[in-house]
Structure 1
Amino acid sequence: MKYFVIICILIISLSGISCNSSKITRNQISKEPHSINSKLLERLSTISKAGFAFGQQDGTAYGLNWYLNDGSVGLNSDLKKVTGKLPAVIGFDLGHLEHDNIYNLDTVAFALIKQQTIEINRLGGIVSYSWHADNPVSKGSSWDTTEAVHDILYDERIKNKFNLWIERLSIFFKSLKDDDNQFIPVIFRPFHEMNGSWFWWGKKNCTKEDYVELWRYTVERFKYHGVQNLIYAFSPNTMNDVKDFDDYYPGDDYVDILGVDIYNHSGNTRFIESLNMNLSILKRKSEEKDMPFALTETGNMRMGSDSSWWTETLYPALHNSGITWVLVWRNARRDHYFGTFPGEKSAPNFKKFTNYPDVLMLSDLH
């Protein structure tokens, strides 16, 4: 018996496999009781029982007619200027961090992103990162649809480049620590909208099998570099049916949160129909997998012409839906914005929207 115990200890330490030969998966580790990731997942579950957290991409970094620089102190947002409240969820993008650049693809300094991530976490908010990585083969943008996924997996030169990119992101993730020197858990949403074809990882630019392998490989590379604070969110574009989910899903061991990105490209009526159908798919999947789900990207493509969109279109579809958060895209300029701002046509309606008891801004999360 003594020798059996010794052998078991050696197996555990060397291979990560228990004595009953069941492998400890990455997902099990991320949800281990008292881990920083499990605490965030528990918070998200609690939020969904009270309502849904509201967020915006780059919402505290810039807005209409203002822009923060690296070293700026304090948090502001267009939404706060309208309501007096900060968003509960802030999204940032890590595109160009793979090149070790100072600024991301939207000219936000990574130092500012890190600083604001720490501050948002201190205030009880949630941070979600997307990654519009450049095409590693063509050196074009994310929207350069030159095939690249297969090369990342099977061409050593491209794989080595991608590995360096993951290493650079790993350094950033491991630098996110709170006042107690503990890692800050963040949501990471890579390779999104894969069932569309506008990104190099999209459906016409790689096989479903290669997409799944890319996702798993990416997760394993972060694990290799000792990254412990990522909550992985899987988010297709508007799904036509459950097949759009199943075809690209990397597996429960590689995903923590389910999401979908839906905009009202085809008008509000179609948007509501698609939103209801897509969220019903996610709700079924979340119940099967015991994972939270979210509307990870959305927005009104006709902002400025619809004064009641928040309460008459968006809210009815989200009320009692079970989502844990919703994130609208960024306020880049007057011809490209998805949140409101002072003087904008829907600002009074957005203020009404945020006063509903189940719409949770940052101050509502305490």
Structure 2
Amino acid sequence: MFFEAEDGVLNGVEKSQQTALFSGNGYVTGFDQPEDSLSVKLHAPEEGMYQLWIGYNGPNGDKQSNLSLNGQPFADVKLVPTTGFTELKYGRVKLLEGDNTFTFTTGWGWYDIDYVKIQKVAPKSKHQVKNELVNPNATKEALTLHKFLLDHYGKNILSGQQNLIEALELKAEYGKLPAVVGFDLIEYSPTRVAHGSNSKEVENILQWDELGGITTLAWHWNAPKDLIDSVEQPWYKGFYTEGTTFDIEQALANPDSEDYKMILNDIDVIAIQLKRLQEANIPVLWRPLHEAEGGWFWWGAKGPEPAKKLYRLLYDRLTNVHQLNNLIWIWNSESPEWYPGDDVVDIISIDSYPLAGDYSPINHRYDQLVELVQDRKLVALTENGPIPDPDLLQEYQSDWSWFCTWEGEFINDGIQNNKEHIQQVYNHPYVLTLDELPEYKK
């Protein structure tokens, strides 16, 4: 079933034939105002799951369109740059029998829509993930945690919250604690310590472990050196690309350089904290170099090859030099070009921040991750704004292993996630909370 975009309902946009090789009689362009939209109506012969494809042109860099289905927010469509019209295999959509209306609104704008098509698809087959970790010397606790996650994969999603204080506040507000809490080694970064930073994050993890919870850990790694440290870019923003002139590509290309040695020094410093967790028999869902693909952090600023090389260096040094065997290694990108390899990744993940109140299952990105690792790895939603609706997760078979809502406004403002939604999520039978965890370390 195929629908030409130029035959849809155009609001603030226009039909064009300026760019060649479109289908039909033209395409729709002019998405340059927030309220601009294109609506197309496709007829489904029966209710069920359909594969959605979008023909588009993205001549102006990375873009995103906000997609609604039958009047309800559905998802953010990521449109990668192109040099002409191409077809995006978007993912599965649940359609009603009869007419269904897809509406594209501007989002980031400045792209062209050529057509939309759908095709009925069969239910997904059983997952192929095995209870194996990439580190052959993984601790008993790490293996047991991975097995627990695997046992619930596709049957439940684990609830998660970034920041222990905000996790404890969930208990006070909603009566339950999340199963997973996210922590950050940011303040242990040597260039932050040099400016007076200190951290009790490891102590927080020890406290959380005493409660029986699962730990996931990131590292907003302040650059090893060359912080800009200005009024506009203060030292504490040194993990951002704009906050440092540190060149990861050059550093990795010169192992005898001071820059390379500074990288190793930072890793060694962080290893000290990770060893404290290993000594306490705490398995860690370890997510270094997160969101590298975005380029806004220095470890992703030079593209996929340096980022992958740095990730593999981290794995080698922490695993083989420091003998850290309590880490379950998470890679945080959906792009094949950025994937460092099956031999150093246990779990694949993305971070997702759709529009406030958009509780869609993020199924298109889930499907992309499953395809990337050929269903051989667990898939997790390691950061989120709005929490996906548990009913939609089951309906779409978007089997995220866990979610982890970011701190601050994302859990507290009542807009990203309203209180009724949080209450529903934390009391849903599909969602596991701390009180439903076994003593998985035994």
What's the TM-score, normalizing by structure 2? 0.59
Q: CA-to-partner distance for each residue in 1:147-200, whole Å, 9 max, x for gaps?
A: 5211331341011111111111111011115xxx55311011111112212111
Counterpart of 1:154 (choices 238, 253, 257) is 253
Counterpart for residue 283 of structure 1: 370
Distance 1:344 1:103, change over 3 A: farther
Task: Please give the residue correspondences for 1:1-366 in structure 2 after superposition, counting only pairs within 5 Å.
Answer: 27-30=134-137, 35-58=140-163, 60-61=164-165, 63=166, 77-99=168-190, 110-111=199-200, 113-140=201-228, 141-145=238-242, 146=245, 148-155=247-254, 156-177=257-278, 182-202=280-300, 205-223=301-319, 224-236=321-333, 244=335, 246-265=336-355, 272=360, 275-289=362-376, 291-300=377-386, 314-319=389-394, 320-331=397-408, 337-340=409-412, 346-366=418-438
| Preserved CA contact (<8 Å) 1:57 1:330 | yes
Q: How many residues align?
A: 291
Task: Give the distance between the partners of 2:211 and 2:425, measured in 1 at CA.
Answer: 22
CA distance in 1, matches of 2:226, 2:193: 22
Give secondary structure in 1 for the equivalent of 2:349.
strand
3-state DSSP class of the match of 1:201? helix
Q: State the shift of 1:345 in Å.
A: 8.1
Match of 2:128 in 1: none
CA contact (8 A) 2:170 2:176 kept: yes
Residue by residue over 1:289-312, the C-alpha shift from the partner in whole angstroms, topping out at 9 and shown as x without a partner, is: 2x2111111104xxxxxxxxx5xx
Amino acid at match of 1:249: Y
2 CA distance for matches of 1:342 and 1:268? 9
1:18-41 Cα shifts (integer Å, max 9, x gaps):
xxxxxxx9815155xx73321121
- Cα RMSD of the aligned pairs, angstroms, is 3.1
- Could you say which residue in structure 2 is the equivalent of 1:21? none
Please give the alpha-carbon distance, in whole angstroms, between the structure 2 residues aligned to 1:251 and 1:233.
11
Q: CA deviation at 1:48?
A: 2.1
Q: Which runs of 4+ in 1 moved over 4 A?
A: 100-105, 341-345
Which amino acid counterpart does residue 118 of structure 1 have in structure 2?
L
Higher relative contact order (CA 8 A, sep 6+): 1
% identical aligned pairs: 27
Higher helix share: 1
Cα gap change, 1:173 to 1:250, in 2 (>3 Å): same
> Structure 2 regions of 5+ residues with no counterpart?
1-131, 229-237
Q: CA deviation at 1:135?
A: 2.2
Report the equivalent of 1:67.
none
1:159 & 1:315 partners in 2: Cα distance? 45
- Asked whether the equivalents of residues 128 and 186 of structure 1 are also in contact (C-alpha less than 8 Å), the reply is yes
Query: Offset at 1:118?
Result: 2.2
Provide the rounded CA distance (Å) in 2 between the counterparts of 1:104 and 1:347.
39
User: Can you give the 5+ residue segments of structure 1 that lack an aligned partner in the other structure?
Assistant: 1-24, 64-75, 301-309, 332-336
TM-score using structure 1 length: 0.71
User: Counterparts of 1:83 and 1:227 in 2: how far apart (Å)?
Assistant: 36
Contact 1:190 1:233 in 2 (8 A): yes
- Find the residue that maps to 2:170 and give its secondary structure: helix
Letter matched to residue 435 of structure 2: S
